[in-house]
Amino acid sequence: MMDKNYLSISYLHPNKGSKKGKLRLGRGQGSGKGGTCGRGHKGAKSRSGFSKKKGFEGGQMPLHKRIPKFGFKKNIKKKKIVVINLDTVQNCINKINKKQENNVVNKEFYLKNNLARKNDLIKILGRGELHNSLKVYAHKFSKKALSSIEKIGGKAIFM
């Protein structure tokens, strides 16, 4: 018959030799790790608070700095394509036509109405409708924009 205490949780313990005690450093010469506590003599590694930086090679130029740089070039200036819809052009013309009659939509028109900047490429898209026949200057046109400009009797002219 089994003993009641045999199954009690208080009798559980690790096997002999499986647990090793923590080595207490700097507790005198008799401990075997007194004095320098296994850190050797002098140098940064013997000091408290020392932490070696990632990639440090003892003062030698580290590998990541010796290898030549390649790849990404950030100074390439691309021209920006600004998209302008037909309804935006019509709204600007409605504001201008109160003052004067003008049937040309060109670079000056876009600059004056803050639709584009000096070096931007302009593309006209087909959202909305034009009510006036216009000469529209742009670098690109969508198919819908071309057809709706020509349907009213205007001209789409590539810059």
Per residue of the chain (159 residues), give pLDDT as tens. Answer: 556 656 778 888 899 999 998 999 999 999 889 999 999 999 989 999 999 889 999 899 999 999 998 888 777 777 789 999 999 999 988 887 665 567 889 999 999 999 999 888 999 999 998 888 889 999 999 999 999 999 999 999 998
CA 11 from chain center: how many Å?
59
pLDDT confidence of residue 5: 58
Q: 138: exposed, middle or buried (C-beta count within 10 Å: 0-12, 13-18, 19+)?
A: buried
Q: Which of 135, 149, 140 is nearest to 87 (CA)?
A: 149
Q: Does domain 81-158 have CATH number 3.100.10.10?
A: yes
pLDDT confidence of residue 3: 62
pLDDT confidence of residue 98: 62
Q: Give domain limits for the chain.
A: 81-158
Angle at 157 between CA 156 and CA 159, to 5 degrees: 140
Q: What residues have CB less than 8 Å from 134, skipping those under 6 apart? A: 89, 93, 103, 104, 105, 149, 152, 154, 155
In the β-sheet with 155-158, what is the strand arrangement from edge to edge?
104-105, 135-138, 155-158
Global confidence as pTM: 0.52
